[in-house]
């Protein structure tokens, strides 16, 4: 006799009983998703909760003493100049980075989506920058942009564009460009491959019909390719926006956020304040602000992912 | 086709190749800069302006890097961390993905979307809270401190990838095996998983690459230099005042070699994985 059957049957009990029976019948299904659920709860959900809690405390990383300070960190952040500087730098970083990756990716994809020899070779070669450690790409770009020994200076001198070496990463006005170029280089392959997949799913008949109607190549691109590719462009751009927003390794390896914080973004600052300077509480408060941004992106992403599914 | 038509088609091909080769040159230039610098002598690498082609190429740097740096140790650690992450991720993801593909149950949608949301919580935004959790579990400075977060952030891709693939495998195959007396575990390991090979290869490649490439977790949770992976090792060679660029770039070349080999063999799986990860079929 099961536990549920020992109860006298009232409507409420029978509902409970039905629920228990339901869970029992599907116990294997639930048992199999339990490890992932438990794991993600302890490694992701709990740290999220912990971040919110910490943001209300003064908590030095090198001691166990935590002092409750309420919303003080947030008040200080909103009253600081650096926060607004970080916002504008993060915005610039994301907009320029994502635009660069999308345009270059589209250019590569359109040319890869042709009936040519060696397509597989080109595709593999274009993919490689995406697959290597960001920290390694970052040191290589640091080397290329080196003020004295760098290849960039050598090329520019050779071409006669400059007559004396320039130090990009040490110059507060242009250092961010030096970093964003590396980031575009890293992120372009993803865009190119996703766009290529999107291009390949466009029915060929559309182009044939357009060609019969006398549409030029550019018109075909403008009126067939772009509209057909729109859902893919939307998803890829959104994902890229999220990844660019949170990218850490590249900036940290190239400049550490300097010179004078000009290459810093919101997430670089989380690390700088929370872990480098050892002020977990304030770092957590910056993290919470980072969550807010990600949350907005996540909602947009999920809406497109779940509702627009049929179109993709 | 007329002569003019031939010419036009030929011209188009030339233009396409031209653009592709130019773009490829642009994308490959950093690799050239990296590799050619490692072939320079200690004095040539510090010549200004830089020589674009090494005047007297030698593999001296590759010989001395074995004795002067911990590159072997870093590579070994990278393998350990990557393989550990792959094993942990698959052990968690396979049962969950299988359960979702084969059963209808209340909460399935919430589970799958919840897993997807994890992907949004990028590591660095979570790093402060994660630091607190890792230290209070006493995991700080252990390999697990790196493997566990890496597994958490690769799980979404793995669960979704395998879930999608399991759904395409006909249930009738499993029923046939069941009639033959196979247990549930046997069905999974002998019937389902072998058929899932393409998805498994994509999953493993993605997870391996992710763990191999990550600097953040090692930078934050491992202070013991003997546990550094390749990105952390390279990062540790960036000196505040002086950087041995020749050695550092040589370590970089060696550090990406395993990945280049992986790419050469698994390119198709990587592409299908990337595509499936972002765009729902």
pLDDT of residue B277: 58
Q: Which chain A residues in 72-111 lie under 8 Å from chain B, judged by CB atoms? A: 104, 107-108, 111
Residue from the list B16, B48, B279 with its beta carbon closest to the beta carbon of A235: B279
Contact A194 B279 (CB under 8 A): yes
- Set of chain A residues whose Cβ sits within 8 Å of the Cβ of B91: 35
> Quick check: B126 and A51 CB within 8 A?
yes
Reported pTM? 0.89
Q: Which residue in the set B48, B117, B263 is minimally distant from A148, CB to CB?
A: B48
**B259–A39 C-beta distance less than 8 A:** no
Q: Which of A101-105, A266-270, A291-295 has the lowest mean pLDDT?
A: A291-295
Chain centre distance of CA B6: 44
- Quote the pLDDT of residue B109: 92
Contacts for B129 with CB less than 8 Å, ≥ 6 apart: A46, A47, A48, A49, A50, A51, A54, A284, A287
Q: Which residues of A touch B13 (CB under 8 A)?
A: 116
Q: pLDDT digits over B227-266, tens only?
A: 999 999 999 998 766 788 999 999 999 999 988 988 888 8
- Cα B77–chain centre separation: 15
Q: How big is the A-B interface in CB pairs under 8 Å?
A: 291
Show residues of chain B in contact with A189, CB under 8 Å. Answer: 27
Q: Over the stretch A162-178, which tens digit does the pLDDT of each residue have? A: 888 888 999 999 999 99
Match 């900036």 to its residue by tokens: A251
Element (H, E) at B82: helix B71-102
* Interface membership of A234 toward B (CB under 8 Å): no
Q: Could you check whether the bond before residue A259 is cis, i.e. omega within 30 degrees of 0?
A: yes
Residue-level pLDDT at A252: 96
Q: B50: nearest CA in chain A? A: A149
- Calculate how close chain B gets to A294, using CA atoms only, in Å: 7
* Burial class of residue A150 in the structure, from the number of CB atoms within 10 Å of its CB (0-12 exposed, 13-18 middle, 19+ buried): buried
Taking CA atoms, A51 is separated from A238, A287, A288, B131, B134, in Å, by 25, 7, 7, 10, 13
Lowest mean pLDDT among A229-233, A268-272, A288-292: A229-233
pLDDT in the model for residue B5: 63
What is the band of A309 on the pLDDT scale with cuts at 50, 70, 90?
Answer: very low
Q: State mean pLDDT over A54-82.
A: 91
The complex scores an ipTM of 0.90
Instruction: Give the chain B residue whose CA is nearest to the CA of A144.
Output: B33
The answer, yes or no, to whether residue A191 has pLDDT greater than 80, is yes
Task: Say if B185 is an interface residue toward chain A (CB within 8 Å).
Answer: no
Burial B100-124 (b: 16+ CB within 10 A, else e): bbbeebeebeebbebbbbbbbbbbb
């Amino acid at each position: 006799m099961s536990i549920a059957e020992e109860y006298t049957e009232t409507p409420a009990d029978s509902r409970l009983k039905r629920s228990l029976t339901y869970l029992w019948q599907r116990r294997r299904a639930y048992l199999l998703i339990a490890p992932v659920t438990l794991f993600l709860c302890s490694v992701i959900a709990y740290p999220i909760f912990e971040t919110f809690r910490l943001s209300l405390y003064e908590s030095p990383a090198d001691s166990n003493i935590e002092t409750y300070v309420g919303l003080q960190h947030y008040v200080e952040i909103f009253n600081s100049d650096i926060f607004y500087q970080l916002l504008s730098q993060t915005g610039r970083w994301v907009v320029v980075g994502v635009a660069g990756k999308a345009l270059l990716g589209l250019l590569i994809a359109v040319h890869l989506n042709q009936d040519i020899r060696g397509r597989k070779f080109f595709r593999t070669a274009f993919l490689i920058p995406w697959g290597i450690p960001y920290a390694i790409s970052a040191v290589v770009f640091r080397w290329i942009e080196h003020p004295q020994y760098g290849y960039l200076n050598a090329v520019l001198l050779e071409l006669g564009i400059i007559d004396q070496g320039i130090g990009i990463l040490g110059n507060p006005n242009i250092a961010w460009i030096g970093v964003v170029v590396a980031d575009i280089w890293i992120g372009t392959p993803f865009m190119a491959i996703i766009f290529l997949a999107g291009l390949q799913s466009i029915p060929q008949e559309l182009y044939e019909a357009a060609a019969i109607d006398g549409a030029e190549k550019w018109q075909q691109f403008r009126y067939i390719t772009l509209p057909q590719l729109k859902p893919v462009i939307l998803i890829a751009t959104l994902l890229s926006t999220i990844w660019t927003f949170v990218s850490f390794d590249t900036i940290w390896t190239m400049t550490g956020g300097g010179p004078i914080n000009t290459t810093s973004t919101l997430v670089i600052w989380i690390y700088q304040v929370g872990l480098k300077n050892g002020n977990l509480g304030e770092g957590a408060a910056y993290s919470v602000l980072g969550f807010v941004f990600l949350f907005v992106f996540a909602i947009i992403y999920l809406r497109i992912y779940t509702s627009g599914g049929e179109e993709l | 086709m007329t002569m003019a038509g031939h010419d036009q088609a030929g011209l188009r091909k030339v233009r396409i190749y031209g653009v592709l080769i130019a773009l490829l040159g642009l994308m490959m230039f950093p690799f050239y800069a990296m590799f050619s610098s490692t072939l320079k002598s200690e004095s040539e690498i510090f010549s200004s302006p830089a020589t674009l082609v090494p005047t007297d190429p030698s593999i001296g740097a590759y010989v001395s890097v074995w004795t002067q740096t911990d590159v072997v140790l870093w590579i070994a650690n990278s393998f350990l961390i990557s393989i550990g992450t792959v094993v942990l991720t698959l052990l968690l993801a396979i049962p969950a993905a299988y359960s979702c593909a084969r059963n209808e149950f209340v909460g399935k949608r919430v589970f799958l979307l919840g897993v997807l949301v994890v992907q949004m919580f990028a590591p660095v935004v979570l790093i402060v809270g994660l630091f607190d959790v890792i230290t209070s579990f006493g995991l700080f400075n252990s390999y697990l401190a790196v493997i566990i977060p890496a597994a958490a952030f690769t799980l979404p891709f793995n669960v979704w990838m395998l879930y999608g693939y399991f759904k395409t495998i006909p249930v009738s195959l499993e029923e046939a095996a069941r009639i033959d007396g196979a247990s549930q575990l046997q069905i999974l390991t002998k019937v389902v998983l072998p058929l899932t090979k393409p998805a498994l290869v994509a999953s493993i490649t993605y997870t391996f690459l992710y763990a191999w490439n990550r600097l953040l977790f090692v930078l934050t949770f491992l202070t013991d230099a003997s546990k550094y992976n390749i990105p952390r090792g390279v990062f540790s060679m960036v000196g505040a005042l002086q950087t041995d660029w020749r050695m550092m770039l040589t370590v970089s070349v060696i550090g990406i070699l395993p990945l280049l080999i992986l790419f050469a063999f698994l390119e198709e799986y990587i592409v299908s994985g990337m595509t499936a990860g972002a765009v729902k079929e």
